[in-house]
Amino acid sequence: MIVEVGLNEAVSRAQNPAVPITPQECADDALRCHDAGAAIVHWHARDPVSGEQRLDDAALYGEALDLMRASDVLAYPSYPVDRPDTIDERLAHVWALREHHGLELAPVDVGSVTTVIWDAAHHDFLGVDALRQMGVITNSLPFTLDALERASELGMTPTLAAFDVGFTRTVVMLAQAGRVKPPILHKIFLFGSFAVGPVPSETALDAHLAQIPDDLDVEWIVVPSALNDPALVERLCRHALERGGGVRIGIGDLAAAFPSSTNAELVDMVAGWAADAGRPLASSADVRQRFSTG
């Protein structure tokens, strides 16, 4: 099974003091996670001084990628969504990282979402005024098709993200249309306070899996995110392991659930759950062979 790590996202040091921010910190953390059993890491470029996100900063991403070559860990970046959803506007840094730093995986989010931030403690919505400016994250079908075509031309493996059940259905249709070739690397997000998609549960994960035909070769990874309940995270991950999937874990996705854990400690935790399920961990080399990356 594949263990992926969400290294940092937009998490602050106040939320978890172990979150990596600078390229050196991200690289060092990625190597520790790799040593603990992770095959893939995902991270957001952050300003080394302010910590602010720099989601299309090829220089910051490239510096970290070069430092990560101390191991063979697979690593891939994020991209900004606060601009038109064309591959030139959003993914230029991804193509540059492929050309100059050998980036192997291309991030592609499938489907648009209305942003809903839910405060469960007070039973109310958060950030409504800010959402008047950009309350919908758009990932149109033309954007997805163009991104997949360019990734294929460059010899990259797309890592596809589904934020709702219908997006997993779209991934299947992309395969049926020949726009993405199996095996497919697919991430299934189950969100908490970022209240997109179904309430995170074993049933919600099964609803995603029900969209995938038995004869379609999909390597899927569950991504519990924006949750504050460690017990729920464990339940979702153990269910994914029982169903034959992989797991993404990390400070970037789960700072509220694990405010004092390091990313490597979280990988150790998942490795223990995998051992309980009789699921050996895939190495980065195993993933490269499976998807013919490089």
Both structure tokens of 75: 């690593």
Radius of gyration of the chain (CA): 18
DSSP β-ladder status, 3-6 and 118-119: unpaired
Could you say which architecture CATH assigns to the domain 3-291? Alpha-Beta Barrel (3.20)
Query: For position 134, what pLDDT does the model report?
Result: 83
Domain locations along the chain: 3-291
**Residue 70: what pLDDT?**
86
Q: Which amino acid is at 60?
A: L
CA distances from 261 to 30, 51, 235 (A): 15, 19, 18
pTM of the model: 0.97
pLDDT tens for each residue of the chain, 294 residues long: 999 999 999 999 999 999 999 999 999 999 999 999 999 999 999 999 999 999 999 999 999 999 999 889 999 999 999 999 999 999 999 999 999 999 999 999 999 999 999 999 999 999 999 999 889 999 999 999 999 999 999 999 999 999 999 999 999 999 999 999 999 999 999 999 999 999 999 999 999 999 999 999 999 999 999 999 999 999 999 999 999 999 999 999 999 999 999 999 999 999 999 999 999 999 999 999 999 875
